[in-house]
Structure 1
Amino acid sequence: MNILHIDSAITGDASVSRQLTATITAKLQADNPDATVTYRDLAEGVPAINNDWFQAVRLSPENPTAEQQALIATSDAYLKEVQDADVLVIGLPIYNFTITAQLKNWLDQIARAGVSFRYTAEGPEGLLKGKRAIIAYTSAGTPIGSDLDFASGYLRHILGFIGITDVDFVPADRLAFDRDAGLARAHEALERIAA
């Protein structure tokens, strides 16, 4: 089993999502002693896509410049980590009712037509099939699945769009109102997740 462990919280050691992703990853490793782990901390910075990225990565020039080669290499590196993974463990802290900017940038880097998805006569088809995602959802006040939650549904949708349809959430939500209850919900969900 190859595990891709992704954090995106900007709050360092105080981050509940980081604590949960570490716990989930440790549980997977305990149940699969031969598992390998690749760690990616998106809070260290993920380049946002722009016109230069589009010209280099999406248009795939025949003779890319050195700058274009660097943009392609960065996007390819993010994508290869996902392609090589059997399980993705993703920290999803809620900032302003949605996903972090760093996580959105990462998703933009890996959602690539003809590589992670393709359009067919029947509609779009995800190409990263046979993978599982376990999402550590944390929020101060936004209940998961509520009308205020613009994160979990989006993340489930975009992962499905690229072919990852086996998605579980470990929610520690409404922590500002009752931290103990929020953490208890997360640990209950953890116990239900089969490794």
Structure 2
Amino acid sequence: MRRVGPVRLVRLTGVLALAALALSACGIRTTSIPVNAGAAPSRMPCEISGENVITQAESGIPARVYLVCSSGLASVERAARIPEGGAGSDDARRKTAQGLLDELQARPSAAEREAGFSTSVRGPLLVSGSRKGDPAGTLRLNRQPEDLPTVALAQIVCTLAESGATDGKVVLGGPGGYPARGYACEKETKIHPDTGVPTTAPPAAAPTAS
């Protein structure tokens, strides 16, 4: 085995030192330290811009519905098949509610999906008018409201609360004999729709014709 002499060892050490110094002078570090560049830019802004603002049935009436985005609820503009001129009568109110629920059940458009929107409302979901003894403004569904997924119910309540289908007070019932209940769309409902939809005292029963 060949042994390295002291003089040659000193020269080799000097060469290595000069190489390290040269790398340092060029701005190249001899050790690498991970650098946190922060979170990557979000690709789900929950906003739709430009000509894609109003989507779905373009021949309908502009309406606002609430979809799921980033674990919360955010509104989108839709062209929905609802009565023109508002929901003045009970029948118009029912048709308005049905048109909005149809939009909630529809698959989000390509622009909405690209922005991160989805829906938890699954059909078929149908609306009928109130029954005798129901509170004023009651809308009855073909499914019991409390049996719906929590996020889906939040979507429905917040959409109806800001539409012509109600006067801001959402009263829903199901197909059975259970009494209708009032629901509220609060700020917390939109932020955390999976935590439950607050219930309210329903208004008085609608007067019956004599």
Structure having the higher Rg: 2
Q: Which structure's residues are more often strand, by fraction?
A: 1
Higher relative contact order (CA 8 A, sep 6+): 1
User: Normalization by structure 2: what TM-score?
Assistant: 0.27
